[in-house]
């Protein structure tokens, strides 16, 4: 695989609160752009309302060939940089993008499972690339931690972000 000449998905680090702007300008280059969003509750002007926020704050994805588009993407308005190791941009696996896309609801947002899993509960991953792995539910994560997990995944470390709907409780052994 030639990461420089092949067309792949790449994570793009946007300037703070400029994901939409970056997505618009990168899209104008004729590239496929993916900016997954979630609905969250927020207090606006004293009222609790539902707002759309990026799933990974300050990050979006674009599919392109670095040899042809890296310079243009890096200098698009709203873009801070393409996530890279040195001078080589790090591709994001198509399966990772597909996992997120599979969770998109009719309203265009990523469905976050509301089912509660208890801390310390033994769980098993039922679907996805980590199917069959057992673990202990440690904690829910916030926006910043989702970004750290995204970057760990792009850099191929061992941390995993698993949607709760892929988990099921494992009966304790007696």
Question: Quick one: which of 80, 86, 62, 69 has its CA closest to 16?
Answer: 80
Taking residue 52's Cβ as centre, other Cβ atoms within 10 Å add up to 12
Domains in the chain and their CATH numbers? 8-169 (3.30.70.940)
Structure tokens at 146: 């989702």
Q: What is the pLDDT along the chain (174 residues), one digit of tens a residue?
A: 577 889 999 999 999 999 999 999 999 999 999 999 988 777 778 888 888 889 888 999 999 999 999 999 999 999 999 998 888 898 988 988 898 898 888 888 888 664 556 666 676 666 555 566 666 666 565 555 444 445 555 554 444 455 555 555 555 544
Structure tokens at 123: 């769980």
d(CA 53, CA 140): 17
Taking residue 107's Cβ as centre, other Cβ atoms within 10 Å add up to 9
């Amino acid at each position: 695989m030639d990461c420089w000449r092949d067309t792949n998905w790449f994570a793009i680090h946007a300037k703070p609160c400029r994901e939409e702007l970056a997505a618009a300008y990168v899209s104008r280059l004729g590239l496929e752009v993916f900016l997954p969003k979630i609905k969250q509750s927020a207090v606006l002007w004293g009222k609790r309302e539902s707002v759309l926020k990026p799933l990974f704050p300050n990050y979006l994805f674009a599919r392109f060939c670095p040899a042809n588009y890296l310079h243009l993407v890096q200098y698009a308005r709203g873009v801070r940089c393409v996530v890279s190791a040195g001078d080589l941009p790090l591709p994001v696996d198509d399966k990772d993008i597909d996992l997120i896309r599979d969770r998109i609801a009719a309203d265009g947002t990523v469905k976050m499972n509301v089912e509660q899993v208890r801390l310390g509960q033994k769980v098993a991953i039922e679907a996805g690339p980590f199917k069959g792995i057992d673990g202990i539910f440690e904690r829910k994560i916030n926006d910043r931690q989702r970004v750290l997990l995204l970057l760990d995944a792009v850099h191929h470390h061992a941390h995993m972000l698993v949607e709760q709907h892929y988990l099921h409780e494992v009966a304790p052994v007696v």
